Amino acid sequence: MSNAKVTLDGTDHQFPIVEGSENEVGIDIAKLRGSTGAVMLDPGYGNTGSCQSSITYIDGENGVLRYRGYPIEELAEQVSFEEVIHLLVWGELPNEERLEDLKAKLTEYAVVDEGIKKILEGFPRHAHPMAMLSSLFSAYETYYPTTGDSEEDVLRVLAGINTLAAYIYRYKEGLPYVYPSKDLDFSSNFLHMTYGSHGADPDIDEVVAKAIDKLLILHADHEQNCSASTTRMVGSAKASLYASIAAGVGALSGPLHGGANQAVLEMLRNIQEGEGDVAEYVELAKDKSSSFRLMGFGHRVYKNFDPRAKILKASADDVLDSLGLDDPLLDIARELEQVALEDEFFVKRRLYPNVDFYSGIIYRALEIPTEMFTVMFALGRVSGWVAQWQEMRNDPAFRIHRPRQIYIGENERSVPPISER
Ligand SMILES: CC(C)(COP(=O)(O)OP(=O)(O)OC[C@H]1O[C@@H](n2cnc3c(N)ncnc32)[C@H](O)[C@@H]1OP(=O)(O)O)[C@@H](O)C(=O)NCCC(=O)NCCS
């Protein structure tokens, strides 16, 4: 296969075929408009490859997810989140020396300017943490002006998210801030800054730290999803990394994207509180006259079990066991999964549990407030956004992202005087 033929008004046009390293096939239509005057129409971009990327590979049909070739299952079991950050952002797993260096830098850059804290304290305490997070990343630009491409910006963002997430929690709870410790790894530092006592030595539960680390790894990247594409889009205007990440946080906050993990827990809680049983919720999700969807089910790309959901399902059991907890919401989640997986509506549309279905149960066991769930998603995902942003900026084919449209509005008309409107 080398070319694809498009026939328009009886004339044939040839377009090159591009093959990916996993035999994915794309038609390169970069010259389509120039040679035919036509554009492709693909609302929602479900059939559009926006770039060539060597970061993350997903095979949605077979439930496969790999970061730079490594299966997510192996990464989740065998490496730390810092190693995954290095893999995504610097392209390879680090050796010991590189890893130690990265860890040291992640604590060095985790310290945020006192002014950032003042901005945080200007927000109403009841505000959503994702709105706070996005605003604080925007504010980074005012404290750490950037030329756009330096490694320092990258480290500041990668390390900053840890502190910002923890400080947002502390501020909302009315607690004094706990500063990052240089002796702790990323996940333990998050726990220390979030739950530690001001001035006291860190006291970290290893099981909890390991669970957080795994969650961060599973959320680290997912190729050209809505927030990664947003981050690339904003960065393609040569906006700073901070402005691009702030936009990515905004995209992630939506309930159809990162906000789904919060929505899952709220749904399970409603079932628990008797506002309907599992079967009723399944029926409501199938009812086309209702806009309700079963939260945590379905995925734009996975038409098979989300591999992250598989890992988290087992992890939820482990975490609850080791913390000696028995969460009735986990039982409801299992029942819901069972009913949905056997229901023809879900089977036919290949709707399986996604990453958000079980992550909420684990966050809850770790006593992370529901409102903070999407921030936890961002805590992992920032590394993916940074990797995607850098790849876009270093791409030899770099151009500002600027889609076209098919205009369906009024044809030219004259402005009538106001008395005739
Ligand atoms: C993730 C999601 C946005 C993907 O959407 P999408 O790829 O655009 O899929 P579509 O909206 O085209 O859905 C395809 C069909 O499945 C149905 N569907 C998809 N997800 C559904 C859900 N969670 N509950 C009930 N029905 C669902 C749609 O109604 C549609 O049915 P139809 O063909 O009869 O019209 C969607 O599955 C969803 O809203 N899920 C719930 C939110 C969620 O968990 N998001 C987190 C993603 S990680």
Q: Is residue 416 part of a domain?
A: no
Judge if 314 and 239 occupy the same domain. Answer: no
Q: What is this structure's pTM?
A: 0.91
How does pLDDT run across 239-283, given as a tens digit for each residue? Answer: 999 999 999 999 999 988 888 888 899 899 999 998 778 999 999
- Residues 348-352 have a mean pLDDT of 91
**Domain match, 220 and 238 both:** yes
The number of folded domains in the chain is 3
- Verify whether residue 201 is a known catalytic residue: no
Catalytic residue among 153, 185, 213, 356: 356
Q: Is 356 in the pocket of ligand 1 (CB under 6 A)?
A: yes
Q: State the pLDDT at residue 357.
A: 87
Residues 76 and 45 in one domain: no
* Rounded Cα gap, residues 37 and 406, in angstroms: 12
Instruction: Say what the pLDDT of residue 313 is.
Output: 86
- Per-residue pLDDT, 1: 65
Same domain (yes/no): 328, 348: yes
Among 45, 300, 336, 346, which is best to mutate for testing ligand 1, by the most ligand atoms less than 8 A from CB?
Answer: 300
Average pLDDT over residues 19-44: 94
12 and 83 in a common domain: no
Range of the domain at 38: 3-64
What does the CA dihedral 146, 147, 148, 152 come to, rounded to 10 degrees?
-60
Nearest one of 83, 98, 55 to 395, comparing CA atoms = 55
Instruction: Give the position, in ligand 1's atom list, of the atom nearest the Cα of 46.
Output: 7
Distance 294 CA to ligand 1 centre (A): 8
Q: Is residue 256 within 6 Å of ligand 1 at its C-beta? A: yes
- Sign of the four-CA dihedral 106, 109, 110, 111: positive
Is the distance from the beta carbon of residue 298 to the nearest atom of ligand 1 less than 6 Å? yes
pLDDT digits (tens, 9 = 90+) for 382-420: 999 999 999 999 999 999 999 999 999 999 999 999 999
Best mutation site among 42, 253, 262, 293 for ligand 1 pocket (most ligand atoms within 8 Å of CB): 293
**What residue's CA is closest to ligand 1, atom 27?**
293
Write the CATH number for 297: 1.10.230.10
CB of residue 359 inside a 6 A radius of ligand 1: no
pLDDT tens digits, one per residue of 165-223:
999 999 999 999 999 998 999 999 999 999 998 788 888 888 889 999 999 999 999 99
Angle CA 225–308–327, to nearest 5 = 120
